[in-house]
Structure 1
Amino acid sequence: MTIITTTAAAANAAYFAAVANAERRARGSYFDQHVLADEDHRYIAIDEGDYGALSQVMIDRIVYTAQGGLIDEY
């Protein structure tokens, strides 16, 4: 039996909320959407197009990537 503490449950909920946000945003974007984590189990979804070249610090914090859904090649 696994017992999930409130802190762990909150961290899981935050992760899945950020993943859902990234997936939703990726469908209408040319750029990949990344979920970044910090040491406090907080997560944020970012659009790669908003940041240009990601710094190594940001790359190291990526825990999930949703591929951009739009293609501009014809």
Structure 2
Amino acid sequence: MKDTLTKLHYSSKSEIDKCIRLRDELKQLRDAIQDISDKSKLELFFIATRKCKDKIQQYETFLKDNSLQA
């Protein structure tokens, strides 16, 4: 029983850490997009926006996968 609880604890901690990391990455991308307001930086804006969309997809997948386990 103790082993099972230990495994669940580490699994939960790992999932929490992943969620926090994804959230922080999204915040960084949001900040980068907000900083790119100069029209001469449209290429950087596109790249940051694309990365943000990819990260949002990862976050949504993470949330979906973990809400099914609860």
More helix, by proportion? 2
How would you bin the TM-score normalised by the shorter chain? Answer: 0.3 to 0.5
TM-score relative to the length of structure 2: 0.42
Query: TM-score, normalization: structure 1?
Result: 0.41
Select the structure of larger CA radius of gyration.
2
